[in-house]
Structures are given as C-alpha cells and as structure tokens.
Amino acid sequence: MLSILGDAGRLCHGTSRRELLTVGGLSFLGMSLPQLLRAESRRDTSSLPGFGRADSVLFLYMQGSPSHIDLWDLKPNAPAEIRGEFQPIATSAPGVQIGEVLPKISQHADKFTIIRSMGVKPKGLRNHGSSIYMLMTGHDPSNFSPTGLAVPPSRDDLPSLGSVVSRFRPAPRGSFGYVALCGPVKEGAQQGVGQSAGLLGAAYDPFPMYDDPTKPLTLDAFSLPAGVNSDRLQQRLDLRRVVAEHVERQPLPGRTVQLDVLPAAGTGMTNFDAYYDQALSLLQGQRAVQAFRLEEEPVTVRERYGMTRFGQSCLLARRLIEAGTRFVQVTWPARSDDEPVPGPDGSWDTHRNNFTTLRNDRCPVFDHTLSALLADMHDRGLLQRTLVLCVGEFGRSPQLGVQTTNNVGPGGRDHWPECYSCVIAGGGVRPGNVYGESDRWAAFPKSDPVHPFDLLATVHHALGIDPASEYPDTLNRPRRLTEHGTPVLGLF
C-alpha cells in the first residue's frame, strides 16, 4: 500500500492521519474509502466502558423541547435578556446546580448525569420535524416535504430507536419489546413521526397505549375470542406456519426452488410469524399484560407519581420495565408545535410566556413525576440495569424575544438545536455528574459536544448492541444503526 509517512495522531472519530494518507493506494487492493471506514468501525467494542450494562431503556421524550437554559444549564452571570427570571439552586450532587423550578428533582441529582453539550445542525428547516426524526431514528431526515413538514409514516421509513433495540436485543419471551405510552410523537398533522419500525416490519412496531392512565385502561387487545384459549391459538399458529412453508416451497413456472433458503428478516411471512409468536407469548405469560393494571398500585404510590397523564404514564413505564419490557417510550402528551396553554398537559414549545408557563404549569408536573420515578426506580434496584433518558428534540434560544424561525412573543424563547441538555441515568452511567459544557450563553457546546446520533449510539452500546451493526434497507443497501456517531464513553 502506498503511504506518506507522518505523525500517527488520531482524528476525532478514531482514524489516524497516517491511515487517511494511505487511502490513495487502496484502489490497488480493491478496497474503497467507505470500506476502510467500515472496517475501522468494526473494532471490538465489548471491552469498552459501559458495554452491555443495561437490560432495558426508559426514554422520556419531552415533545416540544423544554428550555435548557432555564432548567439544566442556567447562566446567572449572563445579561438579563439571556439569563431570564430563574435562579440556580444547589442539588444533592456536589457542585451541580439546576433551575429553581425543579426543587424535587434537585434532591435526586446524585442519581443522574446532565449532558450540557448536546447540539445538532438539522437538515432542512430549523423546525421540530427534522430534529425529531434525527433524535428518533439516528439518521438525517429524508421524508419531509420541501417546506419542512412531515409526510405520513410508511413502511419505507427507517426504524425508530425503540424498534432497532427490539430487533437487535429481543425481549424475553412473554415480554414486550417496545411500548409507547402517554401519546404519539406528533409533528403538524402527522402522528408517529420517526416512531415506528418502518422497513423492519410490524413485528418491531411499538405497542401503543395512549389511553389516559389516570382512568381505567382498556385491555381488550389482550382478550381471546369466546371459545378460544391459548393452546388452541398455538395450534392455529402452528398450522398456519406449516401451510405457509409448504406453499413457499411449491415451484412456480420459470422459478427454481431452493429448499434451503428461508425468507430473509423483514419479509412479510417472517414478520407475520414473529408478530403472532410475540402476541401468543404475551397472552400465555400474562406477566407483561398485568403491568397495565395500574389499579393494583397503592394509592400512595400513584399520588407520589402524580395523578396526571404524564405521571401515571411514568408509573406504568416502571411497571413495564419490571415486567421485562426492553424499551419503553413515554412521550409528553402535547404536540411539539401546540400553543403552551395552562394545565398539566400543555406544550413545552414556549415561543411566548416562557417563564409563566414553566413556573406555573410544566415544571410542577415534571418536577413531581421525574423525582418520584428516579427515587422509585433507585429504591427498587431498577436503575442499575435500566438506562433512563430525558430529552427534547432541541433547546430554546438563549436570547429572549428574538425570532430565529417562528413567531416569538414577549418573554418567549425560539427553537435552538445548536445547544441543549439531556438527563441520563442508570444502566452503568456514573451518577451525580455533568458531562460537557456549553459556552457562556448556553448557545453552543464549548467542550465534549454530543450529537443526537452519539446519544443513540450510547444507548446501543449500553444495551450490548454493537453500534456498527447494520440492517438492509428497501433497496438492500446496508444501513448502520445510526448514520454516524459513537458511544459517549465518558458517561460510564
């Protein structure tokens, strides 16, 4: 291989400068630059810090995006038009401060770490849609209209994080792989943006439970028809599989049959059988179904989480994690671009009245519930093997009342994808820390920047899934789990 000798220092993603200088000779060996980079990415990761420390994930998606500069990354020395109205308060983690509107969460800061250097430059408009898609799938958006609006989800979409986890780290038999609670991801008129399994097939779609959990949940989906028990259902599934395999092996005119070839992952028959097998195991085991019976929880526990849609959804999520569910997503119930109206379920999209909305409506609910969830999961020993994420699709603009993309009213903060914060706990993450730093106005990462794709790669890593794993898309091209990005090993 031709080589220009030089300093063998390493670049930010692991490939050395010397290796890049040698790629000119790769063509002589039949290897392209993408192949080199792919080989580089396939180094053994199992011995790296944090690999495989988590068994499950609880993803709290704060749809609409809370203001990072008012909750997690306050700048008390900044000018008034940037620092806003809230003051920082001390927490149970030495040296870590958060906003005064989160007093209960501050008492549990020794159980989580704050990433203050998240940031992204989304493809397309600086609106919710593209940032949501990147956070949910680990890929740049390709299914948005020229005006930046989401299009209806389809089976051609790339899969969501929860679906990828369900596919590459299957849940135990009798448990859910992926459950979505509280509400769907919404962007404009579309529901489910970046939330389904897409091309991986229906077997890896989330089981949605969007009923209001403050009221009795409807569990008709888990009831068998009259006269049919689980054994009879198993017999029907076995018969269907035998018939399907027989038909698959019948020669068609002009077709040569290969009996040793089974349908590839993602084909209709495979997904159909996987879907039915999963449903049958849930019906036979009943442990996962039992998790939805919130009425079995003591009243004191339910009130501890808060009798709100978000509060009871987080309690339900804890019960599902205990029942062996691999991935649970709790989505804040209000649509990303809804007006931030008063009440417990309104939007975090505070284009106006940011401080009144946070102080009186959003933060009392959020503070009450997240503090209860962290304490409860810690006391039950669930945090040790459960990775908990709490994040929105971006942050809010540091300067008040300044329009960057949309209509911004008095005291409002606009969209700000360049810098924001994420709370992460459990699953091997070292608690009571701050990772990364923003600049003096919380406008851009100053040190240890974390791209959303890095965050998703960290989830894969914590679950023991090689982030360099691939799946075929609809054109049979290899797709990485994330378009780029590496695990944030400094969290472990």
Alpha carbon distance 36, 348 (integer Å): 43
Alpha carbon distance 95, 98 (integer Å): 10
Q: What is the DSSP letter of 152?
A: P
- List the structure tokens of 145: 């209209």
In the beta sheet, which residues pair with residue 389?
Answer: 59, 424
Alpha carbon distance 250, 261 (integer Å): 13
Classify residue 157: in a domain, yes or no: yes
- List the structure tokens of 168: 């590459």
pLDDT confidence of residue 1: 35
| Closest listed residue to residue 96, CA positions, set 83, 111, 81 | 111
Beta strand 386-391 with 56-61 is parallel
Contact between residue 130 and residue 124 where contact means Cβ atoms under 8 Å apart: yes
We report the CATH number of the domain holding residue 452 as: 3.40.720.10
pLDDT confidence of residue 152: 84
pLDDT confidence of residue 235: 67
Give the residues of the chain that fall short of pLDDT 50.
1-31, 36-37, 39, 252, 254-267
User: Is residue 97 classed as helix, strand or coil in its secondary structure?
Assistant: strand
Number of structural domains the chain divides into = 1
| Closest listed residue to residue 366, CA positions, set 182, 215, 222, 187 | 182
Alpha carbon distance 101, 123 (integer Å): 33
Taking CA 446 as the corner, what is the angle to CA 443 and CA 451, rounded to the nearest 5 degrees?
A: 80
DSSP codes, 335-357: -TTS---SSTT--S--SS-HHHH
Please provide residue 59's backbone torsions phi and psi, each rounded to the nearest 5 degrees.
Answer: -105, 110
* CA atoms 300, 304, 305, 308: torsion sign: positive
Alpha carbon distance 143, 129 (integer Å): 10
Q: Residue 163: which residues within 8 A CB-CB, separation 6 or more?
A: 178, 196, 197, 198, 200, 204, 205, 206
Classify residue 48: in a domain, yes or no: no
Classify residue 329: in a domain, yes or no: yes
Taking CA 465 as the corner, what is the angle to CA 136 and CA 123, rounded to the nearest 5 degrees?
A: 30
b/e 190-223 (16+ beta carbons within 10 angstroms → b): bbbbbbbbbbbbebbbbbbbebebbeeeeeeeee
Classify residue 106: in a domain, yes or no: yes
Contact between residue 197 and residue 163 where contact means Cβ atoms under 8 Å apart: yes
Alpha carbon distance 120, 117 (integer Å): 10
Domain ranges, residue 361: 56-217+294-491
Contact between residue 491 and residue 435 where contact means Cβ atoms under 8 Å apart: yes
Contact between residue 308 and residue 239 where contact means Cβ atoms under 8 Å apart: no
In the beta sheet, which residues pair with residue 387?
Answer: 57
pLDDT confidence of residue 442: 98
Classify residue 456: in a domain, yes or no: yes
Question: How many CB atoms are closer than 10 A to CB 381?
Answer: 9
Classify residue 22: in a domain, yes or no: no
Q: Residue 398: which residues within 8 A CB-CB, separation 6 or more?
A: 69, 75, 78, 82, 413, 416, 441, 442, 443
Alpha carbon distance 256, 178 (integer Å): 39
User: Is residue 207 classed as helix, strand or coil in its secondary structure?
Assistant: strand
pLDDT confidence of residue 212: 97
Classify residue 209: in a domain, yes or no: yes
Contact between residue 129 and residue 148 where contact means Cβ atoms under 8 Å apart: yes
Classify residue 228: in a domain, yes or no: no
Contact between residue 357 and residue 412 where contact means Cβ atoms under 8 Å apart: no
| Closest listed residue to residue 109, CA positions, set 123, 95, 121 | 95
> What type of residue sits at position 100?
E
